[in-house]
Chain A
Amino acid sequence: MKIKKRSFAVSGLLALSMAVTACGGSGTKNESASSPSASAPAGTAAASSAPGASGSADKAVWFSTVDFWNPPATWNTDPNSVEGALTAKTGLTFEFNIPAQDGDTKLNLMLVSGKSFPDVLTVTNDVMVKKLIESGKVWNLEEFLKKYDPDSHILKDFPADVKGTIEERDGGFYAYPSHINSADQRKVYPPAGQFYVDQVDYATNNGILVNSNILKEIGMTLEDIKTEAGLFKAYEKAKGLKVDGAPVIPLLVDGKGYQGSTLSFLQDTFGAMVVDKDGNYHDRLLAPETKDSLNFLFKAMKGGYFEPGQMTVDNAAVKADIASGRVFTFIGNTANTSFQLNDYWASSGPILADSGKKPTLGKSKRAGGGWMKTFISKDTKYPEKLAKWLSFMTSKEGMLLHIYGLEGIHYKFDQEGRIVKTEKGLKDAADYMNTGLFAFWPFHNTTFSYSIQEPPTETTDKEAVVANRAQSAYGKSKETKIFDSSAMNLPANLFPASSENANIETQIKTYKEAQIAKIVMAKSEDEFNKQYDELIAQLKKLGIEKLDTERNKYIQQKNQEYGVDVKGINS
């Protein structure tokens, strides 16, 4: 009997431990957040000397959906490093949680599961911004700062035009924007030279990059490849060449995101606009110039100038190809390619269509609401410290520290009070994933940087010069027609998620993704035309015109509000 009792007790314990093991592993723990002393690296001077309520550094969790943003994986608390200096100033260290992909999905699940939120969140997707605000899980920054850091400079000097854009978009000042670039901010921080004026007025991320080494080898110039016909001639010449024994890639498209960047640039350069001759909104897919853009890709595919697999790879593969020296031209988002690391990259500006239509470029005259948007969670255990941290990161002192580093080591001031980066400063900024210098993108301020730093030259910052030259080429071209696109930025929540229109939008998104690929990969001219006609017919069948009617109402209202009148340049 005793044996039976004992064996029951043992099996009961075993079952209990198995149950605990089976059911207990799913939650995520943030022991460091609740027990900072246990998680802080031992013996770090900054951690022990940092200010803050508790007198020691607290570790906050910083989540981001921007999968190619790679701040240092481990927070360096050495006070002679950028991160260590930030800790010394703010009393905080950070643990980054940046999913390798599908960050929005992860955040969505966090919203539904009701689990505690990360302390800081940085997102780019405007729909996600809406979701975060509607969930009530993030602070209105104005209320947050008034409560926890009433002396914050943000409450006094945040540019009014940017704030207006954010409030219009989000219904309140919930998110701190990255890369502020606005007229009001320029009143405080005027551009340091023409270089930066060009950058603001003409630079665009989407464009064409040309490898000047290969261009020279085929005996052509940038001027020769400015036309569609000239470019195809160059592709044919480059097709047979080899670089280090490997064949040249005449055209590289922007990986699996090619429809959002490569096609988008081709639409610009072939003159497709979101408004027609009467100024009414229509989806650019319906613009006749989009057919020319698709035809360009179709002809390039058919000519063997790029292969279909390019349209399936991720950004890392695109970057690797760009760095290989084998690519003759790249069309897409140049900002994600690190092309400026090699000075042989240039840009021919627009690709002038055989149809004679004019290249177009929309430039918003209004302040932007930020590419990255940073939120503070209401669940955070460190509201006071985060408020001070937010104020510091966005202050002149903070920006000098995290964008330019330590004075005397990473930069020095010239006689005019402008920053001149040292060699170490340039090197550490390029290695931001390890050094932390230039790593805090969510708090980069374009207007501030264009004002405080010496305009770069070939000798002081060649990469910046290479980047500016290539990215401004399209906008500065005399053929390019620049128009005010202030009213054309549609809000993310124009169609609520569960509405009929949102469903139409989703269906169109999925359909066009597959159909555009079919068009580009068509076997013959006839098939190309057939697939294109099918695209237009199916888009209309799915209800694209219904969406356009709603979007047009919004655009016309904004046109009136901003006093803008934009009409189609080509059709």
Chain B
Amino acid sequence: MAIPKEIAFAEKKTARPKLKSFKLGYDIRTQLELKSMLIPAVLFIFLFDFTPLFGLLMAFKDFEPVMGVKGIFTADWNNFAHFKRIFVNNFQLWPMVRNTLGINLLGAAVSIPCTLLFALLLNEIRSTRFKSLVQTVTYLPHFLSWVIFGGLFITLLNTDGIVNFLLMKLHLIDKPLQFLADPKYFWGVAIGTGLLKDIGWGAILYLAAMAGVDQSLYEAAAIDGAGRFKRMLHITIPGILPTLMVMIIFAVSGMLNNNFTQIYVLQNSLNLPTSQVIDTYVYQTGLLNFQFSSATAIGLMKSVFALLLLFGANTLSKKITKTGLF
């Protein structure tokens, strides 16, 4: 039986485009306005992320700053000398890798559960005004620069700062602690200040994921007699698991990246043994000691390892939780 022409036309009009129609040409014809909105982002990424990749050549050459940008291409190749210098007989290599991984691993181990817990508790607040107030107060530090936030904490953590004052008044310590002068406290200070600054901001993602959980599940669980804790455990957490996994993948792939500004602001010559991380070493080598090539070499190696970590974490996540970034 032949299908009437108008019905066939209407079906054709309303039918979802077939897979082949998602080709670039089709997209441009049908979604030109939307696609054009991408131009700034593409240009931005091209200019600031792809163009500087030429600079990686410096890692393999005897580049000097005075050669200017042209020098990146014209300097002599040096047979991996900068890589050898960094990875062989470099007494700073192990401490800086240890500090980088230590601060990040412990930081992730503390900040992800804390942020998640904070978001879960926030989600349970019934008073909208109080919830908004808590959210606003906890977001605020995120918008402060590390120079200001770190400077504030340097003052608070001074021997005559309020933290030591309170600890002494509470008879928890006999004499002021050297939070920023004694290397053994640096990891704790870095992790603690990082958590305080970003706990509110980090909770936003989890709250958004929680908003997407089917409310009928909560109602059904309540009818079945599940309390708030049980509902949180069996509905909310599984509901936001994909988001949680994305956060963990990001944390793993960024394991070799520290918040440079944070560490730089809190670092001093006294806590250097535990505060020297890859990022600050690259800064010191490249910009303070003018050894651009060595700094590029270590930056490049860091990126390669970070990429491997990203793929590894994604694969693991897909195997365990069936969710991943790509």
Contact = CB atoms under 8 A, between A and B. Distances in A.
Contacts of A542: 91
B135 interface: no
Nearest to A4: B33
B321 interface: no
Contacts of B269: 256, 259, 311-312, 513-514, 516-517
B288 A8 contact: no
Given A111-B68, A131-B66, A308 B270 contact: yes
Interface residues of B, number: 46
Given A105-B287, A498-B293, A112 B270 contact: no
Given A113-B69, A514-B273, A19 B289 contact: no
Instruction: Name, among A18, A127, A498, A509, the residue most crowded by chain B CB atoms within 10 Å (CB to CB).
Output: A498
A521 B291 CA distance: 31
A262 to B, nearest CB: 12
B291 A503 contact: yes
B273 A518 contact: yes
Interface residues of A, number: 52
Given A104-B288, A507-B92, A538-B91, A309 B178 contact: yes
A118 B313 CA distance: 48
Interface in B41-88: 41, 43-44, 47, 62-66, 68-69, 78, 85
A459 interface: no
B292 A112 contact: yes
Contacts of B85: 500, 503
A571 interface: no
B37 interface: yes
A12 interface: yes
Contacts of A11: 33-34, 36-37
A500 B156 CA distance: 43
Contact of B68 (A14, A135, A498): A135
Contacts of B159: 307, 309
Nearest to A127: B290
Q: Which of A111, A131, A309 has the most CB of B within 10 A?
A: A309
B162 to A, nearest CB: 15
B64 A309 contact: no
B120 interface: no
Q: Which of B78, B90, B91, B273 has the most CB of A within 10 A?
A: B91
Given A8-B36, A104-B288, A256-B269, A308 B181 contact: yes
B181 A309 contact: yes
Contact of B62 (A109, A498, A503, A514): A498
B209 to A, nearest CB: 29
Nearest to B181: A308
A311 B270 contact: yes
Contact of B182 (A102, A112, A308, A541): A308
Given A15-B39, A112-B68, A135-B66, A308 B273 contact: no
Nearest to A132: B66
A8 B158 CA distance: 59
The A contact surface, by secondary structure, is helix
Contact of B65 (A108, A308, A309): A108
A104 B286 CA distance: 12
Nearest to A304: B175
A188 interface: no
Contact of A108 (B34, B39, B290): B290
B178 A23 contact: no
Contacts of A112: 65, 68-69, 292
A42 interface: no
Interface string A1-35: 00000011001101110110111000000000000
Contacts of B272: 510, 513-514, 517
Contacts of B40: 15, 18-19, 21-23
Nearest to A131: B66
A7 B290 CA distance: 51
Given A112-B69, A309-B159, A517-B270, A19 B39 contact: yes
Listed from nearest, the 5 A-B pairs whose CB atoms lie closest are: A308-B181, A312-B268, A18-B40, A514-B272, A135-B66
Given A22-B44, A497-B291, 6 more contacts: A18-B39, A102-B288, A312-B180, A514-B276, A521-B270, A542-B91
15 contacts: A19-B40, A21-B40, A22-B41, A23-B47, A102-B287, A104-B288, A112-B65, A134-B64, A311-B270, A497-B291, A498-B291, A498-B293, A502-B289, A517-B272, A542-B91
Interface of B: 32-34, 36-41, 43-44, 47, 62-66, 68-69, 78, 85, 90-92, 158-159, 178, 180-182, 268-270, 272-273, 276, 284-285, 287-294
